[in-house]
Amino acid sequence: MKKFSEMQFKKPNLKKIEKDCAEMTARFENATTFEEQDAILRKVFKYVDKLNTNFSIAYVKYTCDTQDETNVKNQELLDEISPLISVFYDRFNRALVKAKFRKELEEKWGKHYFNMVQNQIDAFDEKIVPDMQEINKLTSEYTKLIASAQIEFRGGVYNLSQMGKFTTSSDRETRREASLKSAKFFEENEQKLGEIYDKLVKARHQMAVKLGYENFIELGYKSLGRTDYTHVEVAGYREQIYSDLVPLTNKLFKEQARRVGVKNPQYYDYNIMFLSGNATPKGDKNYLVAKATEMYGELSKETDEFFEFMKTYELLDLEARKGKAGGGYMTYFPDYKAPFIFSNFNGTSGDVDVLTHEFGHAFQGYMSRNIACPDYRSPTLEACEMHSMSMEFITYPWMHLFFNEEADKYKYSHVVDGLTFIPYGVTVDEFQHFVYENPNATHDERCAKWREIEKKYLPHKKYKEAPILEKGGYWLRQSHIFSSPFYYIDYTLAQVVAFQFFNEARANHQRAWNKYVKLCKMGGKYPFTELLNRAHLNNPFVQGTVKKVVRPLKKYLAQFDVSQF
């Protein structure tokens, strides 16, 4: 096992990859026994793992330093060739679904695997390769533009992630000024960001039409590997949120405004939960990692072993810095059976969220590391987010390590944030459905629609001093809208599931933990709704689930004396 600093990206030889894939496909088609086809399939799995490891190394190095010329060129190369490699995979997939011994292969690898492969076939054709290449370039362009932000603020220069510690200041003038400075970046770059998105939407729509779809929505769902629900179920779920959660979140926002003592609150006033300020971690990166080491050492033998592994092999890049891409993520290096956690610490409670949220992703990857089939190692995205968001709540008994006397303040805020996030996530999803149903809408029409939907789910938002946001430009800062269409609803579905783990953990922590580990070990062997059934969790798509999950959370919040915060 190498440390991350020792992992090197090797420039792929496209001709060799094409030759290797063609040979494996031909051998698979000409195989005369089940055993022979199965052996070739397992060889394909290992080959895919090798390529994915190499590509992941390049992506991590690029996001860690988007200003390094070598990293940029490597990422540009992958943006160019990844769709071409998809052509080679597609040829094998088409041979796989027509396999002579498909029945026996299904018995060994499961029908879900073949359903996923069929989804991949339905979502791809060689004729959309130029569109995929264009999309890759555009999303990288967006990432680089956002990472380029250099915001002058009170004698310093900060990127958007680093501005977070100022936008959440308990001093109203500080958070106001910082929030408006951040909004100004998007105002100055609105035209460019709007152009990038318009090209992305049109490229995706063009792909869908080429593949025989009316628009990108069905193709987008297939591209995310969804085999067990459609936009119809998602629309019904959004209605549940509107009817069964939005009344509560509106009440919580009003209470928050009263606590911070602002008569006419603006959007930046909701960045703090209390007039005394938000709960903040009581140390720097090294302090937080040390406390996380203690926490995971006590939680379980598996988490103790895993966190030591992550530290030993340099699989954590946590601090914000110039040139580093924004946001946070977990990726995986299959050949090393190793996850990698990327984030931008900025001195807020979000730093602790990273050590639980991204760790939840990474822990699931580690628990599923010995699953041979790459498509089974990780589930679809809404199921992935179950692991991350649930870990945030499972670790509540250790929050005093990070926040000391502010631990209860953090817990209250975190539950409220989880509840109030869901309407925002639903806003993102409803907006994207509008966008791809109306691919020729103008940038201004998109902004107007965002503001309309935002007022439906988040009526408290006021942008008096930020014209770009009052116009409806808040979505420009949401990277998922650019890079991962229809992904964002997954966070909200997972939040509903995570709250179920939270409700159970308060009653019996060990039982909840055992259920969580079982869920992690299943990886992606089953689709989302079946994973829920096997883990004895309520399905968010079923009417009444949201109401059932929210009810105990109201009681939990009521037990806090917020006047003490």
DSSP 44-103: HHHHHHHHHHHHHHHHHHHHH-TT-HHHHHHHHHHHHHHHHHHHHHHHHHHHHHT-TTHH
Q: What is the mean pLDDT of residues 354-372?
A: 96
Is the Cβ–Cβ distance between 260 and 272 less than 8 Å?
yes
Is the Cβ–Cβ distance between 235 and 489 less than 8 Å?
no
Whole-Å CA distances, 158 to 5, 36, 149, 163, 465: 26, 57, 8, 6, 21
Query: Cα-atom radius of gyration of the chain, to the nearest Å?
Result: 23
Is the Cβ–Cβ distance between 482 and 200 less than 8 Å?
yes
Give the 3-state secondary structure of residue 333: strand
**Confidence (pLDDT) at 394:** 97
Is the confidence at residue 564, as pLDDT, over 90? no
Q: What is the mean pLDDT of residues 82-95?
A: 94
- Model confidence at 277, in pLDDT bands (50, 70, 90)? confident
Q: What is the mean pLDDT of residues 23-28?
A: 98
- Model confidence at 502, in pLDDT bands (50, 70, 90)? very high
Sole residue written with tokens 């026996």: 104
Between CA 497 and CA 489 the distance in angstroms is 13
Is the confidence at residue 200, as pLDDT, over 90? yes
Is the confidence at residue 382, as pLDDT, over 90? no
The neighbouring-strand residues paired with 156 are 153
CA 3 to chain centre: 25
- Model confidence at 2, in pLDDT bands (50, 70, 90)? very high
Q: List the one residue out of 42, 71, 1, 426 whose CA is nearest residue 241.
A: 426
Helices 34-64, 69-97: axis angle to 10 degrees equals 160
Is the confidence at residue 327, as pLDDT, over 90? no
Sole residue written with tokens 């992690």: 520
Is the confidence at residue 119, as pLDDT, over 90? yes
Is the confidence at residue 167, as pLDDT, over 90? yes
**Confidence (pLDDT) at 161:** 87
**Confidence (pLDDT) at 275:** 86
Is the confidence at residue 357, as pLDDT, over 90? yes
Is the confidence at residue 85, as pLDDT, over 90? yes
For the entire predicted model, the pTM comes to 0.89
**Confidence (pLDDT) at 326:** 84
Q: What is the mean pLDDT of residues 73-87?
A: 93
Q: Which two tokens stand for residue 564?
A: 């003490």
Q: List the one residue out of 343, 370, 332, 297 whose CA is nearest residue 522.
A: 370
Is the confidence at residue 35, as pLDDT, over 90? yes
- Model confidence at 280, in pLDDT bands (50, 70, 90)? very high
Q: What is the mean pLDDT of residues 230-234?
A: 96
